[in-house]
Structure 1
Amino acid sequence: MDSTPVRTTLRPTLAEVARHAGVSTATASRVLNRSAPVSERVAAAVEAAAAELGYVRHRAPSGGARQTGAVAVVVFDSLAQLTTDTFHARVLRGAERELSRTGHELAVLTAPRGSRRPALAHYLCSGHVDGVLLVGLHGDDHSLPRVLQAAGVPVQCIGRPLGAAGLLYVDADNVGGAAEAVAHLLRSGRKAVATIAGPQDMAVGTDRLAGYRRAVAGTQEIVAYGDFGAASGEHAMLRLLDRRPKLDAVFAASDAMAAGALRALRRLGVRVPGDIAVVGFDDAVVAQRTSPQLTTVRQAVEEMGARAASALVRREPTAPVVLGTRLVVRESA
């Protein structure tokens, strides 16, 4: 299996307590949660192991959930992308912050597109975790959520899942944020506003494109597509200029693509914002490192991770959560 759990804290796990006491994880769970009688000798061994390792019992979540003390985060991307994408790092930071309050550990797994996942599904459904957070679902990634739901494993998505009815999620207002960004460009007097849209097999891509279309309704749409990465933003910017040399503004659906667009414009000698204004989305670290600094839409990424983790372990709220966004005006528009 490509997806190997990675511990992100030093807190001892229930499995380590069981191993130290020489019993099964199930037996250790019964002792520490007082869920079934065991012999005095076994109980004493488990309690001693827990004390020696510094294991802290977490309060059992409601609804009859598992008692493992672990929550899995499955990122639908490669390990390389996981380690380089600041969005993922911020989501994990928010989730871990919340889970530390309930005594849970975080197990991070990756599920690259096109990979076989029966071993991953088996692991997640075999009682190893109390629940699963899914990050970055694509349109064809619905088999794993369905398997988890059928097995009774609690599931929360970070980001609205595209076409997967019945899944709970925490997301940013991607439609409203994108519409606000484009409206800002139009209010500043820009006439030909294009967008570099994200992948259309992800809700974040379709929603930000929908926000652009809402704002430019009644005028001509000018759309190129990227994959949220900087290189795709650079290439898309060049395609847009080939099609519309008189372009005077671009809304990129991610800061990375906006940074790529700025790189292309700088190479061509196009002044920003004098000739073309550029706005991104995310307010990632790169937004303040570009030249000029990037006007962008701020989304509460850490809060998304924390809210999803809280909803998973506390079983509330029981409806999707959409967090607001805010336009951050800097030098590029």
Structure 2
Amino acid sequence: MLPRHSAVTLEQVARQAGVSRATVSRIVNGVSTVDPALAERVNVVVKQLGYVPNLSARSLASRRAGAVALVVPEDVERFFGDPFFGALVAGIQGKMRGSGFLLDVLIAADDPRQTSDLLLGGKVDAAILFSHRIEQSFMSMMSASLPVVLAGRPSDATEPTCHYVDVDNRGGAEFVTRHLLERGHRRIAMIRGPEDSPAAADRLQGYLDAHEAAGIEPGPIVAGDFTSAGGVAAAERLLDEGASCTAVFAANDLMAIGTMGVLRRRGLRIPDDIAVAGFDDVPSAADTVPPLTTVRQPSREQGAALAEAALALVAGEQVEQGQVLATELIVREST
């Protein structure tokens, strides 16, 4: 075993494995044409010696930065406080593990264009952007200069240069609204998400679709912001204005959980007096009292698909322009 302070080289691995330096290089870079038995032998030596590939040298040779940027247009508190972001990042990181690329997370709450120097300065090979609150012109500028994949559909669906991975927000919202209608509710309020969010717009449209299909007028619609505090404020508005409703569909679980707290404080029983449903299926949704009916969106799978698309674009491969992942209705005791 070499001393710990000595950096193990390809040549040292090659000597101990009894192969050429070029063979070791091909194996550690994942070339699939190498004989499996030979690759196994070399990988054993790599592990024994503790060889770590020189990413800087690899980047120089490939003319790549070896990094993918994830640009999140939210403030720090929202990013770390919303379980959706954590699941998405976990999915991205899981897919990138072993790819030789690093993930740079850039939180750009006020103006995502502040990150343009980094994105366009050759320090990353691709970018994953949240379509929410990122201007179309900024996305177009980025995608003209490097591979870009959007988390969520673009606000302008005709934008030809942006690849995206979304979930079926509209269908999921229609599922849960239809579920409430089938439970006999004829006056369903909705707490919608931010007006500049394509996901919020799709969830609102799904709510309206279900009412139209049933021939029933939709209930009151109040604005929210995808935060628990926003759900609290919206629910208080509904009650203070005397809105007549027997169910509330909040456009995400954080707002639904905030709504449930308001209803309990006002002495209303869930679901006996009023039913509540959400969207996302965050981990705490199953632990509310009562457990929350919601729409499960595959956030980890979406993250993995985003990373896969970004890495494929860097490699020059063909990538489907838009992917939409299925959602699932999870019925619990709140409805």
In the superposition, the TM-score normalised over structure 2's length comes to 0.77
Q: Offset at 1:203?
A: 0.3
Matched, 1:161 2:163: no
Q: Gaps spanning 5+ residues in structure 2: where?
A: 1-8, 10-24, 27-48
Distance 1:155 1:314 in 2: 11
The CA distance in 1 between the partners of 2:138 and 2:103, in whole Å, is 19
Partner of 2:279: helix, strand, or coil?
Answer: strand
Determine helix, strand or coil for the equivalent of 1:304. Answer: helix
Equivalent residue letter for 1:99 = M
1:99 corresponds to: 96
Question: Is the partner of 1:117 in helix, strand or coil?
Answer: helix
Equivalent-residue separation in structure 2 for 1:82 and 1:198 (angstroms): 16
Q: Percent identity?
A: 39
Q: CA deviation at 1:243?
A: 3.8
Counterpart code for 1:188: R
Q: How far apart are residue 69 of structure 1 and its match?
A: 1.6
Aligned counterparts of 1:213 and 1:81: Cα–Cα separation in 2 = 28
Q: Deviations over 1:137-174 (max 9, x none)?
A: 22x522332221222x0000111121261211111100
- Is residue 66–residue 127 contact of structure 1 (8 Å, CA) maintained in 2? no
User: 1:303 — aligned with what?
Assistant: 301
Distance 1:202 1:281 in 2: 15
Taking the aligned partners of 2:256 and 2:165, their CA distance within structure 1 comes to 25
Preserved contact between residue 77 and residue 136 of structure 1 (Cα < 8 Å): no
CA distance in 2, matches of 1:159, 1:244: 35
Contact 2:132 2:197 in 1 (8 A): yes
In structure 2, which of residues 227, 239, 258 is the aligned counterpart of residue 229 of structure 1?
227
Which residue type is aligned with residue 117 of structure 1? R
Q: Counterpart of 1:175 in structure 2: which amino acid?
A: R
2:129 aligned counterpart, secondary structure: strand
Amino acid at match of 2:107: T
Residue matched to 2:332: 330
Q: Per the alignment, in what secondary structure is the counterpart of residue 285 of structure 2?
A: helix
Partner residue in 2 for 1:145: 139
Distance 1:238 1:52 in 2: 59
One-letter amino acid of the counterpart of residue 189, structure 2: A
Counterpart CA distance in 2 for 1:251 and 1:215 is 12
**Equivalent pair of 1:175/1:208 in contact (CA under 8 Å):** yes
**Partner residue of 2:20?**
none
Letter in 2 for 1:302: R
Name 1:43's counterpart in structure 2.
Answer: none
Question: Secondary structure at 1:227's aligned position in 2?
Answer: coil
Aligned-residue offset at 1:56: 6.5
Deviation at 1:275, TM superposition (A): 0.8
Count of aligned pairs between the two proteins: 277
Q: TM-score, normalised by structure 1?
A: 0.78
Instruction: Give 5+ residue unaligned stretches, structure 1.
Output: 1-16, 18-31, 34-50
> Would the aligned equivalents of 2:248 and 2:274 in 1 still touch at CA under 8 Å?
yes
Q: Is the 8 A contact 1:66 1:130 kept in 2?
A: no
* Superposition deviation, residue 122 in structure 1: 1.5
Q: Distance in 1 between matches of 2:255 and 2:274?
A: 15
Match for residue 113 of structure 2?
117
Aligned partner of 1:42 in structure 2 is none
Partner of 2:46: none
**CA distance in structure 2 between the partners assigned to 1:93 and 1:131 by the alignment:** 18
Deviations along 1:237-269, one digit per CA (max 9) or x if unpaired, are 122233454310111100000001101100001
Displacement after TM superposition at 1:197 (Å)? 0.5
Give 1:325 deviation, angstroms.
0.4
Aligned AA (1:231): A
2:322 corresponds to: 320
CA drift of 1:319 comes to: 1.6
CA contact (8 A) 2:73 2:112 kept: no
